Chains A and B, each alone.
Chain A
Amino acid sequence: MKTNSEYMLREIAGEAVLIPTGSASQQLNGMIRLTDTAAFIWKQVDTAVDLEEIVARVRDEFDVDEEIARRDIYGFLHELYIRDIVQDIPEMDQGADNL
């Protein structure tokens, strides 16, 4: 599981934004604004072993019910995965319908 290295997370004026660079800019011209939670999840992708570890880390950081955290994390990362913004997530390769 990894983030696409052509997307850079920047924190500007209190906002977390993902900026596409290189060939990623052909797909998206502009930036993606992330909420604080989304930015936290993004930062976990390159170091977590799997999605369940991200769920655990989010629950350590935020006061959130496990099922809601799992649904939101899988949903958010699925949106990024189908756009190739995050890559190599085995759980996603098995098909989003199973999530």
Chain B
Amino acid sequence: MEPLPMETNTVEKMMLRRAASAQRPINGSLELLPLCNMRCDMCYVRLSRSETEKKGGLRTADEWIRLGREMQIAGVLFLLLTGGEPLLFPEFRRLYTELKRMGMILTINTNGTLLNEEWADFFESDRPRRINITLYGADDRAYEELCHYLGGFEKTIYGIRLLKERGIDVKINGSVTKSNQNDMKKIYDIGRALGVPVHMDTYMLPGLHERSLPFEQQSRLAPEEAAAAELETIRSELLPELFQEYIEQKLMQIEKGAPVYPVGITCMAGNCSFAVNWQGEMRPCVTLEEPSVPVFETGFEAAWKKMVKEAKLLKGSETCSKCSLRPICKTCVASAWLETGAYDGVPEYLCRYAREYRRLLCEAKNI
């Protein structure tokens, strides 16, 4: 069977695999700042200027550039610049240009509302690999309710158009929540109209202030609704014949009986990938808060080695690693920790999600 688009074997993936097997850093995410011009309800990063100052303030562009040189020597190739809103980072353009000159392949996560002719010309003159723009809804009402930012939708669409006119690769990302669930189809339609690929995340980690609430009272979808939304996103993102193939492959993976999954970290995090937050703490990924090494003080290479070593100590659930639904389950040590408070916890939300997803796959196969 031909590999599906999400399972294709590219040079990039081969390089990632090789780096992981050598335990070398090739991919990183730099969270430049916690500041943002929007105030989204579900955000777990945003701080005000005064809160940021109280926590030590931002690192300077020069500090990030110095770190860039260390990353270049260590072999880092792919960097995601994120925040907060990265375009608000002081001297963003200088930092961006310097990182590009070092031979880094840059992707940017932005809300898109600050993009204007000047920004678009800047990115046209030295293109990023891609600009990921988060779309929070399909109209200004959604932006006002969820992000408390009047006019945000129109500004974002304007920004996407400016980039597309200049031939810059853009992708729309979104997260499905209870408040924008009904906008999903419209968001895909907007993407099609603009000629921009869309990806909607249906699994959201529990919000910072909602972890003790029952699922019904959290802003994310109930697990069964999220599973249904995921299958809908796959249906929207794949051609019909590939969608059927996807269903068959997934059911086959479950039927075959998954091999026992490792109990440690199973993704790139801490194997060939890292995240540095705005305070300069290097971690395996944006979700995990430990191991955490102060990279500006420790130096990149030493911080990487320490983080990798300590990340190996994180162990997930033995029950999950042997579960027949593991091939379609989204659990990992990071999500288990946020869902249950323990790396080896069995997250009820994800068990319900995976059970429903299997049921929906079976249903879709029989249609």
Contacts and interface: CB of A to CB of B under 8 A. Distances in A.
Interface of A: 8, 10-15, 17, 19, 21-23, 25-26, 29-31, 33
| Interface size range of chain B in the complex | 20 to 34
Contacts of B77: 10, 12, 17, 19
Contacts of B127: 25-26, 29
B103 A14 contact: no
B79 to A, nearest CB: 12
Contact of A22 (B75, B102, B126, B129): B126
Given A12-B75, A13-B24, A22-B100, A29 B129 contact: yes
B308 to A, nearest CB: 15
Contacts of B129: 29-30
B19 A13 contact: yes
Contacts of A13: 15-16, 18-19, 22, 24, 26, 75, 272
B100 A25 contact: yes
Given A15-B15, A15-B18, A33-B11, A10 B103 contact: yes
Contacts of A15: 11, 14-15, 18
Given A8-B103, A13-B24, A29-B169, A21 B19 contact: no
Given A14-B18, A15-B11, 4 more contacts: A12-B75, A13-B16, A19-B104, A25-B127
Contacts of A21: 100-101, 103, 126
Main secondary structure of the interface of A (DSSP, over half): mixed
A22 B167 CA distance: 15
Interface of B: 11, 14-16, 18-19, 22, 24, 26, 75, 77, 100-105, 124-127, 129, 167, 169, 272
Contacts of B100: 21-22, 25
Contact of A23 (B14, B24, B126): B126
Contacts of A30: 105, 129
A26 B126 CA distance: 7
B298 to A, nearest CB: 23
